[in-house]
């Protein structure tokens, strides 16, 4: 067991968690606020995962589809509900314990969409961003999900080989250019595997598609993306 896990009860005693939605003490996400998070149902584009009528690709995928990812699924919508502050609490405020709670949404989505994977891979940070933040939130989510599903997590094969701008303020075209060739798979451990790539938020799917390109060039058989939140 990691030292952080051993110390967590003491940290909770000194600085009790508060619900990100209503500030209730004792939990990061109370049952009432959890129930307010709208899930992404099964009526999604088979490729990019955006909500659309079943049985057909979305308008964007009809015009300019993602090229490498086999499919993306997201657990819940991001805006105007407690999921947004929960993600920010994990990503920007250093509350790593939130990852285990949020990973429950990922596990539910994995089962609901009947995904099948052999290994989990988190979207990697560039070394400079990792030094700045001190941890990778996607890695924390992947670790908690792997523990729940009984699947191995590979943190070393997929690397981000150049720094990229934040995707937050970019257009769809700019997002794709921003992450193009930003990732590399540095060994063959994932060759022939069905890989599940984990990220916190999906908007256009460009980052996951760029990861899938690198993984498939290294021999991955299939690559699926699973994200906590859908931003559009």
pLDDT-derived band at 1 (thresholds 50, 70, 90) equals very low
Across 44-70, average pLDDT: 90
Which pLDDT score, from 0 to 100, does residue 7 have?
59
Q: Give the residue-averaged pLDDT of 165-178.
A: 81
- Residue 183's DSSP bridge partners are 160
Q: Which domains does the chain have, with CATH numbers?
A: 38-230 (3.40.50.2020)
Residue 5 has pLDDT above 80, yes or no: no
The pLDDT value recorded for residue 172 is 81
134 dihedral zone (left: phi>0; alpha: psi -120 to 50; beta): left
- The pLDDT, as a whole number, for residue 13 is 56
Name 199's Cβ contacts closer than 8 Å, sequence gap at least 6: 122, 123, 138, 207, 208, 225, 227, 228
**Tens digits of residue pLDDT in 83-103:** 999 999 999 998 999 999 999
Residue indicated by tokens 């999900």: 145
Residues 151-179 as b/e (b if ≥16 CB within 10 A, e otherwise) read: bebbeebbbbeeebeebeebeeeebbebb
Q: How confident is the model at residue 55 (pLDDT cuts 50, 70, 90)?
A: confident
**Could you report the per-residue pLDDT of 183-209, keeping only the tens digit for each?**
999 999 999 999 999 999 999 999 999
Q: What percent of the chain has pLDDT over 90?
A: 72
Q: State yes or no: pLDDT of 44 exceeds 70.
A: yes
What is the mean pLDDT of the segment spanning 160-171?
82
């Amino acid at each position: 067991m990691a030292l952080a896990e051993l110390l967590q009860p003491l940290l909770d005693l000194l600085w009790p968690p508060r619900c990100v939605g209503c500030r209730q003490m004792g939990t990061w996400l109370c049952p009432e606020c959890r129930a307010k998070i709208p899930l992404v149902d099964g009526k999604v584009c088979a490729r990019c995962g955006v909500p659309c009528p079943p049985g057909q690709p979305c308008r964007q995928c009809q015009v300019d589809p993602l090229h490498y990812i086999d499919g993306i699924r997201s657990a819940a919508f991001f805006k105007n509900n407690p999921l947004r502050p929960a993600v920010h609490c994990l990503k920007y405020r250093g509350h790593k314990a939130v990852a285990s709670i949020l990973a429950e949404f990922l596990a539910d989505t994995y089962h609901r969409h009947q995904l099948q994977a052999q290994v989990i891979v988190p979207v990697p940070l560039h070394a400079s961003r990792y030094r700045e933040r001190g941890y990778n939130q996607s890695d924390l989510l992947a670790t908690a999900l792997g523990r729940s599903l009984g699947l191995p997590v590979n943190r070393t094969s997929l690397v981000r080989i150049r720094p990229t701008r934040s995707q937050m303020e970019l257009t769809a075209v700019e997002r794709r250019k921003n992450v193009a060739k930003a990732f590399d798979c540095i060994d063959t451990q994932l060759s022939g595997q069905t890989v599940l790539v984990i990220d916190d938020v999906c908007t256009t799917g460009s980052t996951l598609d760029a990861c899938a390109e690198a993984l498939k060039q290294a021999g991955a058989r299939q690559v699926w993306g699973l994200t906590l939140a859908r931003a559009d």
